[in-house]
Amino acid sequence: MSREPLPEDPFAGQPDWAPKPPRAIVPVPATAGGDLRGRRVITGLPGLGWRADLRADERVVQGSRTYVPIMQEQEWYRAEAEQIEVFAPLVPQERVWIETIGSTPASDGPRDLLSRLVSLDAPGRRDPVPVIDSPNVLGRRVVQMVDGVERRDLRAVTDLYSNAEGDICVRVAAELDWYRWAWTGQLPKTMEVPVHLAWLE
């Protein structure tokens, strides 16, 4: 009697001290429904291109069309922190995708060029990239893994460096503090994260 082979664990050879990577970002059409207020979104047009690092407010219906108010992420954080109104252009709902947290990536190894090609019909899935594999991380969205739990909404405030103990690290700040730095000049509180615990979203 033949048996189906068991699926191979893509992380089988991973050392015990190295956590599994965080889950991927999977864009879902806003037309699928659900609350939008404060959600990270991607806008654009199939075949043309996409814009990310945006936040949405609740849908607005005008006539027979549904629109989503979209603002730059910095403006959304400012509006929330200071309780002020900010300009949010209305984008047709069919041109908006919601960033959702999907599944663990299929592999934590490097991908060849052909496996990285995407369709132009919708924004592509974004698998996490180990911080150590990126030449530049300053300002990028970071996920820190702490005992198997993902800590998101962080921004890198440095590139990689070696600390006093010789560990390779990156410093991160809460995203609200990162953006507040831009509109007030107030330096953010930062935290040192060992490089093996950090991924780029």
Kindly report, residue by residue over 10-35, the tens digit of the pLDDT.
444 444 556 889 999 999 999 998 99
Q: Which H/E stretch holds residue 37? A: none
- Asked if residue 42 belongs to a domain, the reply is yes
Stretch 139-165: mean pLDDT, rounded? 96
Residue 42 burial (CB count, 10 A): 23
Residue 33: per-residue pLDDT: 87
Contacts of 25 (CB under 8 A, 6+ apart): 99, 100, 101, 102, 125, 126, 201
Cα–Cα dist 117/121, whole Å: 12
* Cα gap 14→8, rounded to integer Å: 13
The answer to whether position 14 is within a domain reads: no
Q: In the chain, how many domains are there?
A: 2
Clarify whether residues 30 and 83 are in a common domain.
yes
Final residue in a domain of this structure, among 44, 78, 107: 107
In a domain, 115, yes or no: no
Question: Cβ–Cβ contacts within 10 Å for residue 156, how many?
Answer: 24
Do the domain assignments include residue 76?
Answer: yes
* 94 shares its domain with 136: no
Which is nearest to 53 in space by CA: 138, 137, 153?
Answer: 153
Confidence tier at 105 by pLDDT (50, 70, 90): low
Find the helix or strand (DSSP H, E) in which 84 lies: none
Confirm whether 120 is domain-assigned.
no
Q: Say yes or no: 78 and 137 in one domain.
A: no
Q: Are residues 28 and 88 in the same domain?
A: yes
63 and 136: one domain?
A: no
Looking at the structure, do residues 201 and 157 belong to the same domain, yes or no? yes
For residues 199, 188, 181, 57, the Cα torsion angle rounded to the nearest 10 degrees is 60
- Cβ contacts of residue 114 below 8 Å, gap of 6+? none
Q: Is residue 179 in a domain?
A: yes
Q: Does 151 fall in a domain?
A: yes
What pLDDT is recorded for position 110?
A: 60
What range does the domain containing 186 cover?
Answer: 128-201
Which of 107, 141, 158 is the last residue in one of the domains? Answer: 107
Which amino acid is present at 47?
A: G
Whose CA is closest to 91, among 126, 129, 53, 45? Answer: 45
Q: Are 63 and 90 in contact (CB under 8 A)?
A: no
Query: How far apart are alpha carbons 15 and 162 in whole angstroms?
Result: 22
Looking at the fold, whether 142 and 191 belong to one and the same domain comes out as yes
Helix (H, G, I), strand (E, B) or coil at 15: coil
Domain termination site, one of 60, 78, 107 = 107
Same domain membership, residue 102 and residue 140: no
Judged against a pLDDT cut of 50, whether residue 163 lies above it is answered with: yes
Res 151: pLDDT: 97
Query: Span 149-172, mean pLDDT?
Result: 97
**Are the CB atoms for 156 and 140 separated by under 8 Å?**
yes
Residue 11 is predicted with a pLDDT of 45
Whether 121 has a pLDDT exceeding 80, the answer reads yes
Do 134 and 99 belong together in one domain? no
